Amino acid sequence: MSRAKSMRLLTRYLGREIYLSIGLVFVALLLLFSFLDLIHELNAMGQGQYNLGYVLLFVMLTIPGHIYELFPVAVLIGTIVALVQMSASSELTVFRSSGASLMQMVGALFKIALPLVLLSFICGEFLAPPSEKMAQQLRLKAQHAQISLKEFRSGVWVKDELSFVNVKNVMPDTSLLNINIYKFDDSYHLQSIINAKRAKFIDQGRWQLEKVMETRFNQTGTSIDVEPQLEWHSALNPGIFSVLLVVPEQMSAWDLYQYTEHLRDNHQRSARYEIAMWNKLFYPFSLLVMMLLALPFASYHRRAGGVGSMIFVGIVLGLLFHFAGQLFGSLGALNDWQPFFSATAMTGLFLLLGVLMLWWTERR
């Protein structure tokens, strides 16, 4: 049998064992996190129409987000389990003895990881964000609640060209409640203040204001007009306000890019959203790093310790990657670190760790 054919057989066999282990780890982790979500949501049950049926539906809608977040952890633990079991039964020793080099093993693991990278990207970009938004809207509607924006006590503030917009509340359908629009001229002299009880989006660039009171300022004094309805022309759209319903880490990369551009155009801080955007783009590729990090465990021998200890190390490394990455991103947003660096630093550190572990095991 040629070496190329034997490597294809090795890759298929490794892939089957690794995918099975990752699947089992995913089931265990998702059951755990879903149970924790259920316990948390039971505390809110009974508010409005938020009954057990809505609670269970909410928990189901949050599963795609958990799948995306837990992908690296599940891949690392699942790959370690598969490799350790194969090493314990001397299967990997046979493959290495038959001529499979370290680089060929790395290449085989990367081929196995590529479908998982694609699946992670699809889940994070197209499944988790709308599912998370649906979950939040479902809970808000069932509880007959609205979102009180807490960026400031007065609500959220948005710069729109020469106007400053203050919104107290955003409803689940992204209609706005209690809006104040402060219009300025080119010299930033206040021209008028528009207060509206409600705003509904009509189409691109147009909002319908309801129960409007407009105060105008000029050289001769002030004037006040009261209108039942008024059309408001603005570059703002529901997509910009809808980001307030979902935290940046649960948004799609495209939505993050659009909102980041809006913040930049209006000279506002965008570090948190930029970090989340870069993290969304590079997070799936961390699966390759997890595969590389798991490979040194293939040198396991029974005398080196139990399978359980190897799995425990994998769990610790996976959770460290997950939580330390979140911590690093938060520190980057607080200290205005370079967004790309803040989003990819932990992946780079774990890549270096994987390379050093491989070098150490091969040296032995």
Give per-residue pLDDT as tens, 71-97: 999 999 999 988 888 877 777 777 766
Q: Which residue has the tokens 């300025």?
A: 184
Task: Please give the Cα distance from 40 to 59 (Å, whole number).
Answer: 10
Q: How far is CA 118 from CA 124, 238, 274, 336, in A?
A: 10, 30, 22, 31
Q: Has residue 57 got a pLDDT over 90?
A: yes
Q: Are residues 138 and 101 in the same domain?
A: yes
**258 lies in some domain:** no
Tally of domains in the chain: 2
Enter the pTM of the model: 0.79
Structural domain includes residue 150: no
Quick one: 315 and 194 in the same domain?
Answer: no
In angstroms, the CA 128 to CA 172 distance is 18
Domain final residue, candidates 234, 258, 285: 234
Give the tokens for residue 302. 């029974």
Among 179, 212, 234, give the residue marking a domain's end: 234
**Are 32 and 124 part of one and the same domain?**
yes
Instruction: Note whether 174 and 227 are same-domain residues.
Output: yes
Q: What tens digit of pLDDT does each residue of 119-173 get?
A: 999 999 999 988 988 888 788 778 766 554 445 566 778 888 788 888 887 776 6
Do 136 and 20 belong to one domain? yes
User: What pLDDT is stored for residue 154 in this prediction?
Assistant: 66
- Structural domain of 220: 162-234
* pLDDT of 306: 60
* Residues 24 and 135 placed together within one structural domain of the fold: yes
Same domain, 120 and 171: no
Specify the pLDDT at position 161.
79
The residue with greater pLDDT, 343 or 336, is 343
320 or 90, higher pLDDT: 320
Domain boundary among 234, 256, 280: 234
Domain check: are 206 and 66 in the same one?
Answer: no
Flag whether 151 is in a domain. Answer: no
pLDDT of residue 94: 73
Please state which of the ranges 78-82, 157-161, 221-225, 319-323 shows the lowest mean pLDDT: 157-161
Taking the C-alpha atoms of residue 174 and residue 243, their distance in angstroms, rounded to an integer, is 10
| Same-domain status, 133 and 176 | no
Residue 263 counted as domain residue: no
Residue 308 located in a structural domain:
yes
Least confident of 52-66, 102-116, 238-252, 288-302: 238-252
Residues 80 and 191 reside in one and the same domain: no
Q: What's the mean pLDDT in 244-271?
A: 80
pLDDT score for 28 = 94
Q: Output the pLDDT for position 315.
A: 83
| Residue 224 maps to a domain | yes
- Give pLDDT tens digits for 183-211: 998 888 889 999 999 999 988 888 999 99
Say how far apart CA 295 and CA 42 lie, in whole Å: 41
Give percent of the chain with pLDDT exceeding 90: 39
Same domain, 73 and 196: no
Asked whether residue 266 is assigned to any structural domain, the reply reads no
Q: Residue 148 domain-assigned?
A: no
| Alpha-carbon 32 to chain mean position | 19
**pLDDT confidence of residue 245:** 67
| Lowest mean pLDDT segment, chosen from 20-29, 49-58, 128-137, 246-255 | 246-255
Q: According to the per-residue pLDDT averaged within each range, which of 67-81, 163-177, 244-258, 317-331 is highest?
A: 67-81
Residue 264's pLDDT is what?
80
Parallel/antiparallel/unpaired status of strands 176-184 and 206-218: unpaired
Same domain, 97 and 21: yes
